[in-house]
A and B are shown apart, each in its own frame.
Chain A
Amino acid sequence: MKLITAVIKPHRLDDVKTALQAFGVHGLTVTEASGYGRQRGHTEVYRGAEYTVDLVPKVRIEILVEDDDADDLIDVLVKAARTGKIGDGKVWSVPVETAVRVRTGERGPDAL
């Protein structure tokens, strides 16, 4: 199993959810997040005083998938999240040792 984590622009969330559902993903976790990558936030001006707001709003999506699906799912996610502009975010995956469905106690791929 793999854990796919994506940090994307908040306004792309609906498109990403739709694309993931079409792909067959049954569940995901979404968290509000803030951070910056290469774009380093933005500047605001109040009566001539400039403030650098370097942490910008993002959403963080986490999905557990079987190994075989991971690459395809990443492709679908990236395609749906992309605007082509700076600050689109990042997606990465890490191996997962086990997963348990709390309600039934099922383990491994059955729990997904």
Chain B
Amino acid sequence: MPDGFSAGDTAFVFICAALVMLMTPGLAFFYGGMVRVKSTLNMLVMSFISLAIVSVLWVLYGYTLAFGPDAGAGLIGNLDFLGMRGIGLNDITGTIPVTAFSAFQLMFAIITPALISGAIADRAKFAAWGLFVALWVTIVYFPVAHWVFFFDGGNGGWLGDRNGVIDFAGGTAVHINAGVAGLALALVLGKRVGFKKDPMRPHSLPLVMLGSGLLWFGWFGFNAGSALAANGVAGMAFMNTQVATAAAVLGWLAYEKIRHGAFTTLGAASGAVAGLVAITPACGSVSLLGAIAIGIIAGAACAAAISLKYRFGFDDSLDVVGVHAVGGAIGSLLIGFFATGHVGQTAQGLFYGGGFDQLGKQAMGVGVVAVYSFVLSWLLGQAINKTIGFRVSEDVEVAGIDQAEHAESAYDFSAVGASLARAASPSAPVTVPAKKTEVDA
């Protein structure tokens, strides 16, 4: 390995990449528990397919569009690394191999479109969704990742490297990007049959808790790993992630108790995710006390924001807008207040004597990514809807999308009933494999 290579940093980044990978199945369970029984599998596999599609595209052209040398004005990478050609085993970026960096960034590219799926739960054709994922990462995620995450000494991405927008681990590139795309798709597809009339309560809160726990666990890789080194900044990002998330759980529950009279399990899980989202951009630039403040604000604000869909009449099924777009925007903007100037970055926020400068930059980052993501996601959604159709028929939706789209169902209630009946009945026939003994012998 060349000079500057660090085995410790490399090991750390590989572990973080694996942690971030686990977030996508975690997200699948988080979302899967929130839908009704009849569309559980569809919800799970909408996240899972992102692992498959984006991984392949990443190698073909995703990595080079996001992290190839800048093709001009910080807007997109060039095609030098098409098919990952030209990347040697001994090439390093910072102190880690390019292969490790690429693996880590791939996991971000996977989970971002998966996040969008919650906005269109229960009603999207699976093939249309797969096509959307492929096109969306190509024209929305890869460029935005370049804008925000590609650093090349002032010649990198135009938001992060050239204009000083701070997004340590993806508040704009991942969460606002996905949240706003979710809003666009929810508008393209329209409301679920029975929205605001039929009860659409979560079918399994234990699955939701499992999913949010996996997300929280994996998020340490997401945030601490974004230091790309096993150092003090990673340590701060790790701790900031923990305390902001904890504070957001408390913030969400407090809001809920005051507003609705109960501390709910779904609220605790949702508060955790809201806190994780909000601290993501900020975890490399704020103090632990700042992280607690960001968490509490994000928890309460996101709890309030999820009622937006009822007020404005759009059906963002699982609150991707309320949690990811709003949480991401809160975290990104609060950097403008809470950045201390001596955690990982030198920019200071309003509360630390930095004036309005950083806040202005953060607002620009939020606004630019939100507008870009909304417009392109909406156009993409419309294009798919007008060609192959994005939404299943009303009959399929009412009957449950799992059987129509996947020829499966999540839970076999009939078999449970049948086996109970067999167990209870003494006259039930017992089948023994006829030649079992001979085979074993």
Partners in one complex: yes
Q: Per-residue 0/1 for B262-301: is the Cβ within 8 Å of any A Cβ (1 yes, 0 no)?
A: 1010110010000000000000000000000000000000
B239 within 8 A of partner (CB): no
By beta carbon, the residue of chain A nearest B322 is: A47
Residues of B contacting A46 in the complex (Cβ-Cβ under 8 angstroms): 201-202, 264, 266
By beta carbon, the residue of chain B nearest A50 is: B260
A102 within 8 A of partner (CB): no
Dominant secondary structure at the B interface: loop
A45 pairs with B264, CB closer than 8 A: yes
Q: Per-residue 0/1 for B305-337: is the Cβ within 8 Å of any A Cβ (1 yes, 0 no)?
A: 011001000000001000000000000000000
B259 pairs with A48, CB closer than 8 A: yes
Residues of A contacting B303 in the complex (Cβ-Cβ under 8 angstroms): 47-48
By beta carbon, the residue of chain A nearest B304 is: A48
Most buried by A among B256, B260, B261: B260
Closest Cβ of chain A to B36, distance in Å, is: 12
Closest Cβ of chain B to A4, distance in Å, is: 26
Size of the B side of the interface (Cβ < 8 Å), in residues, is: 18
B201 pairs with A48, CB closer than 8 A: no
Residues of A contacting B259 in the complex (Cβ-Cβ under 8 angstroms): 48
Q: Per-residue 0/1 for A39-72: is the Cβ within 8 Å of any B Cβ (1 yes, 0 no)?
A: 0000011111111000000000000000000000
A47 pairs with B270, CB closer than 8 A: yes
B306 pairs with A44, CB closer than 8 A: no
Give the residues from 188 to 234 in chain B that come closer than 8 angstroms, CB to CB, to chain A: 199-202
A45-B261, A48-B303 given. 7 additional CB < 8 A pairs? A45-B256, A46-B264, A46-B266, A47-B266, A47-B319, A48-B256, A48-B306
10 interchain pairs, CB-CB under 8 A? A44-B201, A45-B256, A45-B262, A46-B202, A47-B264, A47-B270, A48-B256, A48-B259, A49-B201, A49-B310
Q: Which residues of B are at the interface with A, using a C-beta cutoff of 8 A?
A: 199-202, 256, 259-262, 264, 266-267, 270, 303, 306-307, 310, 319
Q: Which residues of A are at the interface with B, using a C-beta cutoff of 8 A?
A: 44-51
